[in-house]
A and B are shown apart, each in its own frame.
Chain A
Amino acid sequence: MLKLPIYMDNHATTPLDPRVLEVMLPYLREDFGNASSRNHVFGWKAEAAVKKARQQVAELIGATDQEIVFTSGATESDNLAIKGVIEYYKSKGDHIITLKTEHKAILDTCKRLERVRQERLDELKLLRLGQLAERDVSPEEVAELAAKHDLENDATYKKWAEMPTGGARVTYLDVEQDGRVSMEKLEEAMTPKTVLVSIMFANNEIGVVQPVAEIGALCRRKGILFHCDAVQGIGKVPFDVESMKVDLASITSHKMYGPKGIGALYVRRKPRVRIAPIIDGGGHERGMRSGTLNVAAIVGFGHAAQLAREELADEAARILRLREKLRKGLTDALDMTVLNGSLEHRLPGNLNISFAHAEGESLMMGIKDVAVSSGSACTSASLEPSYVLRALGVDEELAHSSIRFGLGRFTTEEEVDFVVNLVVDKVRKLRDMSPLYEMAKEGIDLKSIEWTAH
């Protein structure tokens, strides 16, 4: 029997697999020890459980257990990778290349590093202008005095500005219309100061999979570290740090049917990649991430990784078949639909589709028994439509009309059939109410109308 509500938002999070819960329970009850307690059986048990989980996670991505650093999730892993590399390699360079379609955990970390650098440069300007003017200079005078003393060409200032600032300069690359990075543009963006390329495996909104192996090969050839936010792709499509030449990878457990609040950063050992910690303390995780380990969550994460590895091939095929049934069911029944992002290079469970002239939030309201998400501005606090869709060049109206379906391990064929019927019905209903659909049907070019933007 079909049970409502239906969960089709597996990019946001996945349900905990009951098998994972089972292996976790003892560690929430009798086996509560601290994995760092070296002198009694409680500690030993916890340590052994963590060791096993570390191996399970490592095996899923083709790494060794010593390369896995447990964190609180991928947000922390992303922060640790980027800030850790920038700090450790500061004498080598401070340039990062990333994509406009990355997750906020990457983009906002980069923005903070840019601010740090800018603030340091502002201080240096003040200092140098003070020297040149031979008096104290206030921040308001900087622009005027900088012009007067031609600061940009001042040898001393230029030398200072090339010293490590603690921050970074960042290139945010555009993606192609299909959502993938252009290898030529990536190579062109590389400079002698580039220390890190951070490009995701699969996108959380459009499911588009990046050419990770090619990126890894290019970075290796150029001597640049490659960090991959692999959250959405791991366990869904094959990922291997060796063949793909990935140096750092972020993983999170709650996108692969494990518990929330636990994740990992893969940090390559051969050739050795170093990072500075962002959390200081007891020196856990070989000094890279202090804090008492969350043993039960780690055990669950490990088991989830093992299940993902064992079941990946069958599961991917099954989910892809359902996704295609969903896609065809919707696009056969409805006109004026647009798939956002590449179909070929896409996670099996992702469908991101715009139903032109039917607004996304109102569609979600109509299908309230189905949990999905939308790129519509109306669903966001900022009232801005999805930056990922805009980076693809998706027309703004279509961005407002987009729905992301995320199929997963527990999605059934019956659910897909139900969703197809429901969505088709509601889109038709909304279009009957939509002045834009009526105009489009009459052949009016909506772009020719002078709208009153507000």
Chain B
Amino acid sequence: MAYSDKVIDHYENPRNVGTMDKEDPNVGTGLVGAPACGDVMRLQLKISDDGLIEDARFKTFGCGSAIASSSLVTEWVKGKTVDQAMTISNKDVARELSLPPVKIHCSVLAEDAIKAAIEDFKKKRAARKAQAS
């Protein structure tokens, strides 16, 4: 299968690969996919107390399109508010990377990863609040 130039670029120069401290109260971690399916994506977002995404890191086990999708969303979410990030859809990712139909699920995974990371952050914050009160 031929890859688009953008997929190749993200694959060869992935942005924001790495690991953040999961225990940091300002870090939300989303781990989606399954090894048996051949794709696992972990997205971590560092979110300020007022809801701004300050930094993002990913690690992905999957095909080139999955790696490119996760790399791309780390670029997109940085500087956005949590609410803005929640509106990023897999269609935006698939369009930007010109993914063929069989690779759409790789972009779905990227969308799921953003949502899971934000949810994790919100859960942590709620737990902290409950503890404080």
Once A359-B63, A365-B11, A434-B60 are accepted as A-B contacts, the answer to whether A377 and B38 lie under 8 Å apart by CB is yes
A385–B40 alpha-carbon span in the complex (Å): 15
Is A435 in contact with B42, judged by CB distance below 8 angstroms? yes
With A362-B62, A433-B60, A454-B33 given, name 19 new contacts (CB 8 A): A359-B63, A361-B64, A362-B64, A362-B67, A376-B63, A377-B37, A377-B38, A378-B39, A378-B63, A396-B35, A432-B17, A433-B67, A434-B40, A434-B59, A435-B41, A438-B59, A446-B35, A452-B34, A454-B34
Inside 8 A of B39's CB, which chain A residues have their CB? Answer: 359, 378
Inside 8 A of A381's CB, which chain B residues have their CB? Answer: 102
Chain B residues with a Cβ closer than 8 Å to the other chain, count: 32
Once A381-B102, A400-B38 are accepted as A-B contacts, the answer to whether A361 and B63 lie under 8 Å apart by CB is yes
Q: How does the 8 Å CB contact mask read for A359-379 relative to B, with 1 for contact and 0 for none?
A: 101100110000000001111
Chosen A-B contacts, 19 in total, with CB atoms closer than 8 Å, are: A358-B61, A361-B63, A365-B63, A376-B38, A378-B38, A379-B1, A396-B37, A397-B38, A433-B14, A433-B67, A434-B40, A434-B60, A435-B41, A435-B61, A436-B35, A436-B61, A438-B19, A449-B31, A454-B109
Interchain nearest-CB distance for B40 vs A (Å)? 6
Is A362 in contact with B11, judged by CB distance below 8 angstroms? yes
Inside 8 A of A397's CB, which chain B residues have their CB? Answer: 35-36, 38
- Which residue of chain A is the closest to B106 with respect to CB atoms? A378
Within 8 A of B (CB), among A351-409: 357-359, 361-362, 365-366, 376-379, 381, 383, 385, 396-397, 400
Counting contact residues on chain A (CB < 8 A from B), the size range is: 20 to 34
Inside 8 A of B8's CB, which chain A residues have their CB? Answer: 365
Inside 8 A of B40's CB, which chain A residues have their CB? Answer: 434-436, 451
Q: How does the 8 Å CB contact mask read for B11-32 relative to A, with 1 for contact and 0 for none?
A: 1001001010000000000011
A4 contacts the other chain (Cβ, under 8 Å)? no
B3 contacts the other chain (Cβ, under 8 Å)? yes
A5–B121 alpha-carbon span in the complex (Å): 47
A130–B38 alpha-carbon span in the complex (Å): 51
Once A362-B62, A365-B64 are accepted as A-B contacts, the answer to whether A454 and B37 lie under 8 Å apart by CB is yes
Inside 8 A of B33's CB, which chain A residues have their CB? Answer: 451-452, 454
